[in-house]
Structures are given as C-alpha cells and as structure tokens.
C-alpha cells in the first residue's frame, strides 16, 4: 500500500464491493483496473451477474472468497454490513436503469459509492438520489472519467486562475461511429445490446451514453452552468428507435454562448470528444484522442505565442500534476482517467472513515450533484427538442 498520509492513518486499503462488471464486461474491467492502479482498494465482494448461479460461480474468477460472491445485491449489502471486515465502498457498473435502486440500497446500508454514469435514467430519481447522498453524508463518486485526465484538469485550473479571462464561448462535441451501421438499427442481442432498449438505457441513448460526458466536461473545465438551450435530438439511421444524435445552442450563466453536438452514427469515427473554451485573453482546446496535449492560443493582439502544454511538462499546475503517472511525452489513457477518480474518491472515503480532512485537491471528482446537473440538462434537451427546438430553461436546483 502506498505512503499517502491518510492511508497511513487508516492503516489499510479500502474494501471494495462491486455490482456488475462480470467477465467480458468492458466497463467492469475499466473499473477494476482503476481500483488497482494506485493500490488503494482491495476487491473483497461482488455480485457479478444478474443470474444468481452465474453471480456466485463468476466470483471465483475474480479471486473472491467463496462466501463473498453473492447471488443478489440485497444479500451482499446485508452480509457486508454485518461483517467486521465488510466492504467500505460499493461500485456500481450495471445497465443504467438499475443505478438508482442499487445506489439507494447501498446508501441505506451505510456504504460509500462509486457509480458509473449516467447517475439515473430520469430527473425525479436523480433528485431523490442526490438528496439521499446529502442526507447520509456518504461519499458519492460518479465516473465521468474524462475529468480525471491531467490536461483536462490543467484546463480547469487555468480557467479558474483567470488565464483565459472571462469565458465567452464554449464548443463541445463527442462524435463516435459505433452505431453507424444501418443494417442493424437497434440490435437487441449481443454485447451491450441493452443500450438499445430505452427502458434500460434511458429516454435518450446518445444523451445518456456520451452526451452526459460532453455536458459534464463543459461544466468541469469552465466552472459554469448551462442556463438555457435550444436542442434537437433523434436518429440519423433510418428505422432506429433510439437517439443517435443530439445538438444544441447553449447559454451559460455568465452570458457566454456555446454549441453542443453529440452522435454515435458518424461512420468511421472513433471517440472524438473535443472541447474548445474561449475567453477574453485566449482559447484552450483539448481532444480526447490526443489527451496528453492542451493547446492555449493567446489573444492575437497580445503578441504572445501559441502554447502547447503536455502532461507533466513545464507549466503543469498542481491539479494536473496530481493526476500524472508517466513522464512528459507519454499519453495518459482511458483507464488512468477512471483510476484518478478511484484515487480521489478513496482519499475522501478514507478521510471520512478516519475522521480527518482530505487533501482539497482530492475533491474534484464528479458527485451526485453532477449527476443531478446531467439529468437536468438531458431533461431540458428532450423538452426543447420535443417542443420544436425552442429555448427552454435549465433549472439550477443542484444544492
């Protein structure tokens, strides 16, 4: 175990229980890798399938003790709560429709939580879950993993420090091609096919799946809320029942304007998450497919040259440096983004258990408030689009 002072005080790793993410799960593997990377969690229990028999048998593949691979979530929560060496933290990585019920149950049993996004499939559930998190005082980490990238954190710190001046324009897009195949518009069999079932994936697949990431990235870097938007969402692929694109014009709380575009049906595209933030002094630009680079273009009349910041390179600010694991020039990747959230949440949880204050730099992980903000935004996008694309208000009741 590492020498972090909070963990030295705690004297052990955090005990982690997982719900979902069994063998063959892409996102489950990401969560487990993230939990291991900084040696702050020990996987002790799990429910690894919705089928009770498979849930128990699969536990052996993960090296769990024979009596800690559980057949149901209720059985695991009850048993782990009663053990002296029971889990401290529950990580949820199941289809979207179950996030709310599992998270509420875990909170009711006194566990801290790490939950895959979106936090819930609907706004009422998001409000109730956020209120319950506040009421219980438990740590809740929502895995918008892109906020863990060092250069995203560099951008956040630069905006907060005033390097851009007041933000005036924001452009964010997330462009994928994984649903561009028109031969099978909505397959309901095969890996992750549950995403094509609205009852499981939510009222808008593209908004919940990748649109929530784009919105969260905008908020994380700028520190601003979207207050109004006019939107369109729907399907590009003929015959498709779930949304595969959405776009909007945005108004931010400081008067800045923005554009937002997300799709999973752009043939040939990979994982094109991109954000550009312009202030009165210059513009920051970041692409997820080249994540180690952050570009800063100063105001032309300033005479200053364009700057290319790289992870762990000169000018790396503390919030970004905290997240770097490799020397300058080597890219940080998708698992490390997850790992940074697990790392930060572990420090917050360990500090809570030990009765001490965590490092403030560890408290930048997305929480239930961010999940609620995402649900409010998606709800507004749907209301605007379904109402003909007119401007609608985005409520800011996130307290």
Domains belonging to the chain, first-starting first, are 5-146+341-365 (3.40.50.720), 149-326+372-393 (3.30.360.10)
Who's near 247: CB < 8 A, 6+ residues apart? 231, 232, 233, 259, 260, 261, 262
The β-bridge relationship of strands 257-263 and 140-142 is unpaired
The β-bridge relationship of strands 140-142 and 14-20 is unpaired
Q: How many CB atoms lie within 10 A of CB 230?
A: 19
Residue-wise pLDDT tens digits, 260-285: 999 999 999 999 999 999 999 999 99
Q: How confident is the model at residue 399 (pLDDT cuts 50, 70, 90)?
A: low
pLDDT at 330: 56
State the average pLDDT for the chain.
92
Residue 332 has pLDDT above 80, yes or no: no
Q: What is the dihedral of CA 372, 377, 379, 385, to 10 degrees?
A: -170
Residue-wise pLDDT tens digits, 12-40: 999 999 999 888 788 888 898 889 988 99
Residue-wise pLDDT tens digits, 360-375: 999 999 999 999 999 9
Residue-wise pLDDT tens digits, 215-254: 999 999 999 999 999 999 999 999 999 999 999 999 999 9
Decide: 220 and 286 in contact? Cβ < 8 Å. Answer: no
Residue 392 has pLDDT above 60, yes or no: yes
pTM, to two decimals: 0.85
Angle between helices 150-160 and 212-222 (to 10 degrees): 40
- Kindly state the average pLDDT of the residues 65-91: 96
**287 burial class (0-12, 13-18, 19+ CB within 10 angstroms)?**
middle
């Amino acid at each position: 175990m590492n020498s972090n002072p909070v963990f030295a005080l705690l004297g052990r790793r955090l005990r982690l229980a997982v719900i979902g993410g069994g063998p063959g799960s892409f996102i489950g593997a990401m969560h487990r890798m993230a939990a291991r990377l900084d040696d702050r969690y020990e996987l002790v229990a799990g429910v690894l399938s919705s089928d009770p028999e498979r849930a128990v048998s699969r536990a052996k593949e993960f090296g769990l003790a024979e009596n800690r691979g559980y057949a149901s979530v209720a059985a695991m929560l009850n048993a782990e709560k009663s053990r002296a060496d029971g889990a401290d933290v529950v990580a949820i990585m199941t289809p979207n429709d179950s996030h709310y019920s599992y998270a509420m149950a875990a909170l009711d049993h006194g566990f801290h939580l790490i939950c895959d996004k979106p936090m819930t499939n609907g706004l009422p559930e998001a409000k109730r879950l956020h209120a319950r998190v506040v009421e219980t005082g438990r740590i809740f980490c929502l895995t918008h993993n892109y906020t863990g990238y060092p250069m995203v954190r560099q951008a956040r710190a630069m905006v907060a420090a005033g390097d851009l001046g007041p933000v005036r324009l924001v452009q964010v897009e997330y462009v994928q091609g994984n649903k561009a195949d028109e031969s099978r518009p909505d397959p309901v069999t095969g890996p992750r096919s549950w995403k094509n079932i609205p009852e499981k994936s939510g009222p808008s697949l593209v908004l919940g799946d990748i649109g929530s990431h784009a919105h969260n990235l905008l908020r994380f870097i700028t520190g601003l809320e979207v207050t109004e938007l006019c939107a369109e969402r729907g399907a590009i692929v003929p015959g498709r029942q779930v949304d595969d694109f959405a776009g909007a014009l945005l108004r931010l709380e400081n008067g800045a304007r923005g554009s937002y575009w997300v799709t999973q049906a752009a043939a040939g595209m990979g994982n094109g998450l991109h954000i550009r933030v312009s202030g009165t002094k210059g513009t920051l630009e970041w692409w997820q497919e080249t994540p180690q680079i952050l570009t800063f273009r100063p105001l032309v009349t300033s005479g200053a040259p364009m700057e290319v910041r790289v992870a762990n390179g000169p000018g790396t600010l503390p919030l970004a440096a905290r997240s770097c694991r490799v020397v300058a020039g080597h890219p940080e990747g998708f698992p490390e983004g997850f790992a940074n959230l697990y790392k930060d949440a572990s420090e917050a949880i360990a500090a809570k258990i030990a009765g001490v204050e965590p490092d403030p730099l560890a408290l930048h992980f997305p929480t239930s408030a961010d999940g609620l903000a995402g649900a409010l935004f998606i709800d507004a996008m749907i209301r605007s689009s379904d109402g003909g694309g007119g401007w609608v208000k985005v409520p800011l009741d996130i307290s």
